[in-house]
Chains A and B, each alone.
Chain A
Amino acid sequence: MKLLKKPPLRVLLFSLLALLAVAVTVTAQKQPQNVQVRIGSILASNQSDEFDARLKGLEKQLRVLKYRSYRLLKDESQSVPWQGNRVFEIPGGRSLMVAPQEFQDNRIGLKVRLTDGPKPLLDTTVRISNKGNFILGGPPHEGGVLVLSISAVTQ
């Protein structure tokens, strides 16, 4: 039978613990260790009406491009450290280098370079939502064009 349960002291301690937990969580969020980058290499063409079932998740985005056929050529994921970079081999002898720069407001800043052998084709800096993506396309490939879906999520 505790009449005066000393809730203020318990409340104080519990509040401090809860605040600490919030601080740890927020800090953890602000400084994720790595970025998981995923590159989907897709062949878009008008040679058929085929839509690769593996691209179901990207269908709405790909339909924007108004091609009749989409086929997944390669799907690759790599863990990339902040301020580091990784190179993804793209069909057709091309390469895509991705370098995560910063993480702010739940958005990831990426530096991306597309090269054709030693020749740079495109350099861009893009800021995407965490778990979001953008589309990079255009290089010709096997009677169609190469479309890359570049997505990133913090780890």
Chain B
Amino acid sequence: MELTDWELVQQCQAGEMSAFQELVSRYQQKVYMVILGMLRNREDALEVAQETFFRAYRKISGFQGGSSFYTWIYRIAVNLAIDAQRRQKRNPLDFRETMDDLLESQDEAARDPFADLHDKELREKLVSAINDLTPEHKAVIVLRTIEGLSYKDIGEILGCSEGTVMSRLHYARKKLQDKLSAFL
């Protein structure tokens, strides 16, 4: 029978590295997606995702199960992504792959002559529009999109009220729709 997150955490606290590996395996992709949505750069996103789990390992002895493991790990991930964003602002992207490049290369690799050019352009514009949001708005949109997390869970991760989550989501979606009205 599959162990719950909390059971794995407890094993990890007892020194079982294999338990931590299982937790990493369960959440690595989702954590990466959240961070990628905030950073747009694959290398940075992978690095920050690794840092997230490294920090989680260091702090796991202090995790007492007050919140669920995934809200805890997402909290670490979002914080680190925000820090990374600040560093990115100080050192603008040079030749590293951006999400835009990744999206382009995806379509080229697919070589699907019937690929919907409209959708391709929408995705590129969407990713660019998200990047123009503030870190707070970016975080709510990405967390809601990827995990379908409730306002309560998102609020717990971001340290704000459900009302704030709701208003930030509304604002972010409005901004995105305004920029992408021609494509939606």
Q: Is A3 positioned at the interface, with any CB of B under 8 Å from its CB?
A: yes
Assess the A3–B75 pair: CB atoms within 8 A.
yes
Q: How far is the CA of A2 from the CA of B136 in the complex (A)?
A: 10
Assess the A3–B135 pair: CB atoms within 8 A.
no
B65 to chain A: which residues have CB within 8 Å? none
Chain A interface: which of B10-18, B76-84, B105-113, B141-149? B76-84
B136 to chain A: which residues have CB within 8 Å? 1
Within B109-135, which residues are at the interface with A (CB < 8 Å)?
135
Q: How far is the CA of A2 from the CA of B139 in the complex (A)?
A: 12
Q: How far is the CA of A1 from the CA of B155 in the complex (A)?
A: 12
Q: Is A4 positioned at the interface, with any CB of B under 8 Å from its CB?
A: yes
A2 to chain B: which residues have CB within 8 Å? 79, 82
Q: How many residues of A contact B (CB 8 A)?
A: 4
Q: Which of B158, B159, B160 has the largest number of chain A CB atoms within 10 A?
A: B159
Assess the B158–A1 pair: CB atoms within 8 A.
yes
**Is chain B's interface secondary structure helix, strand, loop, or mixed overall?**
helix
Q: How far is the CA of A67 from the CA of B75 in the complex (A)?
A: 81
Chain A 11-54, CB within 8 Å of chain B: the 1/0 string?
00000000000000000000000000000000000000000000
Q: How far is the CA of A3 from the CA of B79 in the complex (A)?
A: 6
Within B28-76, which residues are at the interface with A (CB < 8 Å)?
75-76
Q: Is B9 positioned at the interface, with any CB of A under 8 Å from its CB?
A: no
Give the shortest distance, in Å, between B84 (CB) and chain A (any CB): 14
B160 to chain A: which residues have CB within 8 Å? 1
Assess the B82–A4 pair: CB atoms within 8 A.
no
Give the shortest distance, in Å, between B86 (CB) and chain A (any CB): 11
Q: How far is the CA of A84 from the CA of B82 in the complex (A)?
A: 64
A4 to chain B: which residues have CB within 8 Å? 75-76, 79
Q: Is B157 positioned at the interface, with any CB of A under 8 Å from its CB?
A: yes
Assess the A1–B75 pair: CB atoms within 8 A.
no
Q: How far is the CA of A4 from the CA of B157 in the complex (A)?
A: 10
Within B150-171, which residues are at the interface with A (CB < 8 Å)?
157-160
B135 to chain A: which residues have CB within 8 Å? 1
Q: How far is the CA of A4 from the CA of B158 in the complex (A)?
A: 9
Closest to A1 in B: B136
Q: Could you pull out 16 A-B pairs where Cβ atoms are within 8 angstroms?
A: A1-B82, A1-B135, A1-B136, A1-B139, A1-B158, A1-B159, A1-B160, A2-B79, A2-B82, A3-B75, A3-B78, A3-B79, A3-B157, A3-B158, A4-B76, A4-B79
Chain A interface (Cβ within 8 Å of chain B)?
1-4
Q: Top 10 nearest A-B pairs by Cβ distance?
A: A3-B159, A3-B79, A1-B136, A4-B79, A3-B75, A3-B158, A1-B135, A1-B82, A3-B78, A1-B158
Q: In the complex, given contacts A1-B158, A2-B79, A3-B159, what are 10 additional A-B residue pairs having Cβ atoms less than 8 angstroms apart? A: A1-B82, A1-B135, A1-B159, A1-B160, A2-B82, A3-B78, A3-B79, A3-B157, A4-B75, A4-B79
